[in-house]
Structure 1
Amino acid sequence: MSPENTAPTDAYARFLGVEITQHGGGHAESRVTVTENHLNPHGTTHGAFLFSVAGIALAAAANNDTHSGVVSHVAIDYLRPVRAGDELVATAEVDERLPKEDIFVVRVRRGDEVVARATGRANRRER
């Protein structure tokens, strides 16, 4: 695993064009610009892509130098449509710290507007 101040290696994120820009201390941020490849047949961003953007931030927040966070549950609400060219930022934060797991809240924003909100649970294991 990379040092806490650098982003973990995530081949799936790289494949989707998602960059992890902050990582550590139960917090992470991922960024991406939506392309035509991320759209559904209606011309808006595919829900699975938004789920992935949120999940990438969540996974980065759940992992650090001392803990390996294994995500066991994610639920997402899609709040607003997203289109090609939109720049998205997903921010994951620990909301509740339990003895062996953390509960996270992830917000995917386009500027100041929240376009999706997710909650997730990750088991915390020593590396």
Structure 2
Amino acid sequence: MKIDHYARHLGIAVQNFGNGDATATLRVGPEHLNPHGTAHGALMLSVVGAALAAAANNETHSGVVSSIHIDYLAPAHEGDELVATASVGERLAREDIFVVRLTKAGEDVPVARASGRATRRDR
């Protein structure tokens, strides 16, 4: 897999990618906080997007993400480890619809829930 330099810059680590599933993690630091002292929404979207992009790509297909819809459900704070898990919800003829769940490590309570769409192209 190619390196996601943006995700790396933010501190996001991606694991378990390929075959329509992926996990992305990030520990929230002080540089990730908004003026309210909670994790910035754009940061949470970036963790979700990294998991979705990794799930959409594998050795044979390049997945081009065309949309993400995210619902923010709870705040994250400095020191929280965010975990985004992405999986295929629907497999269509030329694209996949993904479900992504963002939680805090060790908790099953969602911080955000997202859906995303990616077109499959042969590599």
Instruction: Report TM bin, short chain.
Output: over 0.9
Counterpart among 32, 36, 58 of residue 64 in structure 1: 58
After TM superposition, the runs of 4+ consecutive aligned structure 1 residues lying more than 4 A away are none
Offset at 1:21? 1.7
SS where residue 102 of structure 2 aligns?
strand
Partner of 2:11: 17
* Mapped pair 1:79 → 2:78: no
Identity fraction in percent: 60
Partner of 1:120: 116
* Mapped pair 1:34 → 2:28: yes
- Which segments of 5 or more consecutive residues in structure 1 lack a partner in the other structure? 3-7
Cα distance between partner residues in 2 of 1:48 and 1:9: 20
Cα distance between partner residues in 2 of 1:126 and 1:38: 36
Give the letter for the 2:110 counterpart: V
Offset at 1:112? 1.5
Offset at 1:33? 0.5
- Which segments of 5 or more consecutive residues in structure 2 lack a partner in the other structure? none
The alignment of Structure 1 onto Structure 2 pairs a total of residues equal to 121
Cα distance between partner residues in 2 of 1:98 and 1:34: 35
Per the normalisation by structure 2, the TM-score is: 0.96
